[in-house]
Homo-oligomer: A and B are copies of this chain.
């Protein structure tokens, strides 16, 4: 835990939470920021801890997850450069509802809750910025609930990959942002199942080799999100005789 470098400050000041704030406000907020370097697996806070700060990821990946009463892990979100988290809880001084830990080497900026609260008195815009960013988190979770309760694993994987593709159609090559075990968790699947889904996707021109993915037809991938069904093809005899 050290003082932030100018680079850190520059990175932090450009993130979404702060859009809408003027430079002076941002600077004031960041005045009390500190930087934390994390190794994979190291955690920032655990679910149930009193919320004492909120965070901004500078580099690397940070995983937010919960441990269920039965001991399983449910991944809520995996964040990277430019994303912030725990703004709202820090603000209201509750308890973190989840655990945050580094999925890779990571560098995060930490802003103490008490400081944010002090700042708000003089600059109400800060509160508005926090609401905006919390609203986005809400939206993301809403989408996650939708995915989990009404989409198949294949659809979730397709949506995830499609989200990584820069273009809407044509072909592209992307690389998986973090390891497959974590991707599986992020999508509510077991690693084995993720692996099998990748295998299935090969038949629609999605080729996963280690962490490199070649999508030969992005539009087709996207269409899976809504429809799911993959028609058998390629391998000689699809004994299923798939209909039109």
- The answer on a CB contact under 8 Å between A150 and B72 is yes
- The answer on a CB contact under 8 Å between A70 and B142 is no
Q: Which of B132, B141, B227 contacts A142 (CB 8 A)?
A: B141
Q: Which of B73, B97, B127, B144 contacts A127 (CB 8 A)?
A: B127
Asked whether A92 is an interface residue with its Cβ less than 8 Å from the other chain, the reply is yes
Residue in chain B with minimal CB distance to A225:
B69
Asked whether A214 is an interface residue with its Cβ less than 8 Å from the other chain, the reply is no
- The answer on a CB contact under 8 Å between A151 and B70 is yes
Asked whether A103 is an interface residue with its Cβ less than 8 Å from the other chain, the reply is no
- The answer on a CB contact under 8 Å between B124 and A88 is no
Asked whether A91 is an interface residue with its Cβ less than 8 Å from the other chain, the reply is yes
Residue in chain B with minimal CB distance to A127:
B127
A163 → B minimal CB distance (Å): 14
Contact code string A47-76 (vs B, CB < 8 Å = 1, else 0): 000000000000000000010111011111
Residue in chain B with minimal CB distance to A141:
B141
- The answer on a CB contact under 8 Å between A139 and B97 is yes
Asked whether A176 is an interface residue with its Cβ less than 8 Å from the other chain, the reply is no
Q: Which of B70, B98, B127, B128 contacts A226 (CB 8 A)?
A: B70
Asked whether A230 is an interface residue with its Cβ less than 8 Å from the other chain, the reply is no
Q: Which of B74, B92, B145 contacts A150 (CB 8 A)?
A: B74
Q: Which of B88, B131, B148, B228 contacts A70 (CB 8 A)?
A: B228
Asked whether A81 is an interface residue with its Cβ less than 8 Å from the other chain, the reply is no
**C-alpha spacing A225/B72, complex, angstroms:** 13
**C-alpha spacing A66/B149, complex, angstroms:** 11
Interface residues of A in 119-145 (CB under 8 A from B): 120-121, 124, 127-128, 130-132, 134-135, 137-139, 141-145
Asked whether A7 is an interface residue with its Cβ less than 8 Å from the other chain, the reply is no
Given contacts A94-B135, A124-B127, A138-B138, 9 further A-B contacts (CB under 8 A): A74-B150, A88-B135, A91-B128, A97-B139, A120-B128, A131-B131, A134-B138, A145-B145, A145-B148
A–B Cβ pairs within 8 angstroms, 28 of them: A66-B146, A68-B146, A70-B227, A70-B228, A72-B150, A74-B145, A75-B149, A76-B145, A76-B146, A88-B131, A88-B134, A88-B135, A88-B138, A89-B135, A91-B131, A91-B135, A92-B132, A94-B139, A97-B138, A97-B142, A124-B127, A127-B127, A127-B128, A137-B138, A138-B141, A141-B141, A141-B145, A148-B148
